[in-house]
Structure 1
Amino acid sequence: MSGAPPKRTAPTPTEEGQGALVAGLLELAHALGDPARDLAILGEGNVSAACGDGTFWVKASGSSLRTLRPPELSRVRLEAVLNLLARAPLSEEAVAAGLFEALTDPTHAKPSVETFLHALCLGAGAAWVGHTHPVAANALLCSRLGAEPFFGHVFPDAVVVCGPEPAALPYIDPGLELAIALREELTRYRARHETLPKLLLLENHGIVALGASAKEVLNITLMADKWARVLLGTYALGGPRFLPPEEVRRIDRRLDEHYRRNRLAREGEQG
């Protein structure tokens, strides 16, 4: 009888890919939840990533971005969540039951109530999504000005990283009602810009970054935070001096800025 250890079955490419995806999602969550960045505390915020097979991973309800672990992620079926949204309005009990049924594995943790928001963003074409409550951004979004200051750019890098214009919504109860309004806003935005927004502003709530990679989501979030801090500083000194709209369009369309934008999304470099 051989004393050699039994051979381990090599993981399939799909399994290897999902492992890397989960690792990337956890890395993104920890970066967004870093206390030094003032983007989210306690159980605030959530993240998601498309698996490429009609399912996606999303942060489970009640977990923390800073300390997120694999058991605190839920894998859900995109079509099931979108079908549930199409049946709205629904009771809280029906929503909870529907999200549980959308799980690919019934042993996974309860998905975040923001799963609808993530499903819409991923279904519209984003590959990664990060939702946070930055202190600086919320200082503006919770003010009487709301999202209005963000509809004027004050420095070029915000155009490059966050796009020529954000999408925005007034305060709506998180969950199904917010998702219904977001569905309409994404349709409106795409009709106007022929693309998906990179940044979504939720008044009295927070921000959502939609990206092609985890690094792009982090870049968008960090740049939106810087943008908010700069805006707050300008209001202390008489108000912002916005870039002319034609200059914003020129920056957005420059070939060298497209190159830099793509590189930032791939490598996560700033500057």
Structure 2
Amino acid sequence: MPTSWNPGLVSDDLLELTRLLGQPGLDLAILAEGNTSELLDDGRLVVKASGANLASSTKEDFVVVDVDEVMALVDDPGASQADLTAVLVAQDASRDDGSPRRGSIETLVHAAVARLAREVGGIRFVGHTHPTQVVGLLASVHAADAWSRIVYSDEAVVIGHPLFVPYATPGIELGRLYDERLREYVAEHGRLPQLVLLGNHGIVATAPTAAGVEAVSLMAVKGARVRTIALSVGGLAPLSVADVAKFFARDDVAERRTNLARGR
């Protein structure tokens, strides 16, 4: 069974992260926007179900997905969106109103990370949100290059070098492009990105801990605000490549980045 329902596998950390990312004051997501996931030790993925509100989620609002079976659709050029929708339905449970419990349409955003995380390590939690400040830039003419350079030191510590993925229709189309770009990033850097910027869409924050996902998400919003201000007064003046490289090479910076990712 590719997708099942087992609230007992939903950790307190995942539920707390989910509710946090949905807080109205953070403006990361509204209504049923956004989704979260946690990679289990057995290689399966716990992901928020479709239609559930982040802020009010309970452990019943998640499903458990077989990563390999879901990603097989990404690898199969003949697979359709309808095939993905069918695979994401938890056949062993339905909602109180009789509607199916189904993984989010954006489950592939999480599953693609999970599959690579099993190879390169370092990631357990993923949070996908649509922050207004970030989406504003990702829907602008500056989308592709706004985050191509680091503009302040704390951004370098928390986020590092993000990955930009151009717009694709959410679902299997986005899943295929997203997986392709993730693999290219890992081939170049030897690790998964902590922040993925989805053109005209939103962000994907990844970390070993739930607290790390929170940190990356909030720093992405600050980064968007900083860029918007800079662009409004004449343009960005990013840090030099040499300065960033020197900064990353420092032992204290490496330690701080590790601690932030682990939620310390």
Asked if TM exceeds 0.5, the reply is: yes
What is the aligned partner in structure 1 of residue 67 from structure 2? 78
Q: What is the one-letter code of the residue matched to 1:133? A: H
C-alpha distance in 1, partners of 2:77/2:124?
Answer: 25
Pick from 40, 46, 50 the counterpart of residue 61 of structure 1. 50
Does the CA-based 8 Å contact 1:59-1:74 persist in structure 2?
yes
What is the aligned partner in structure 2 of residue 114 from structure 1? 106
Aligned counterparts, 1:189-228, within 5 A: 189-228=185-224
What is the TM-score normalised by the length of structure 1? 0.86
Q: For the structure 1 residues 94 and 159, does the alpha-carbon distance in structure 2 shift closer, same or farther, using more than 3 Å as the test?
A: same
Does the CA-based 8 Å contact 1:211-1:217 persist in structure 2?
yes
Aligned counterparts, 1:136-151, within 5 A: 136-151=133-148
Pick from 158, 165, 169 the counterpart of residue 165 of structure 2. 169
Q: For the structure 1 residues 153 and 145, does the alpha-carbon distance in structure 2 shift closer, same or farther, using more than 3 Å as the test?
A: same
C-alpha distance in 1, partners of 2:188/2:216?
Answer: 21
CA RMSD of aligned residues (A): 1.6
String of CA shifts for 1:107-144, please: whole Å, max 9, x gaps: 16210011111111111112111001011111110011
String of CA shifts for 1:219-243, please: whole Å, max 9, x gaps: 0000011011011111122112110
String of CA shifts for 1:178-217, please: whole Å, max 9, x gaps: 1111111012111222221111010100010111111111
Q: For the structure 1 residues 194 and 267, does the alpha-carbon distance in structure 2 shift closer, same or farther, using more than 3 Å as the test?
A: closer
C-alpha distance in 1, partners of 2:108/2:78?
Answer: 13
List alignment gaps of at least 5 residues for structure 2: 1-6, 95-100, 118-122
Q: For the structure 1 residues 229 and 152, does the alpha-carbon distance in structure 2 shift closer, same or farther, using more than 3 Å as the test?
A: same
C-alpha distance in 2, partners of 1:73/1:57?
Answer: 7
What is the TM-score normalised by the length of structure 2? 0.89
Does the CA-based 8 Å contact 1:49-1:127 persist in structure 2?
yes
Does the CA-based 8 Å contact 1:21-1:51 persist in structure 2?
no
C-alpha distance in 1, partners of 2:209/2:9?
Answer: 13
C-alpha distance in 1, partners of 2:56/2:144?
Answer: 30
| SS of equivalent residue, structure 1 residue 58 | strand
C-alpha distance in 2, partners of 1:48/1:88?
Answer: 26
What is the aligned partner in structure 2 of residue 135 from structure 1? 132
Q: What is the one-letter code of the residue matched to 1:159? A: A
C-alpha distance in 1, partners of 2:135/2:260?
Answer: 25
List alignment gaps of at least 5 residues for structure 1: 1-17
What is the aligned partner in structure 2 of residue 249 from structure 1? 245
C-alpha distance in 2, partners of 1:78/1:53?
Answer: 10
Q: What is the one-letter code of the residue matched to 1:85? A: V
Report sequence identity in percent. 38
C-alpha distance in 2, partners of 1:112/1:140?
Answer: 25
C-alpha displacement at 1:20, in angstroms? Answer: 8.1
C-alpha distance in 1, partners of 2:226/2:252?
Answer: 24
What is the aligned partner in structure 1 of residue 97 from structure 2? none
Does the CA-based 8 Å contact 1:147-1:201 persist in structure 2?
no
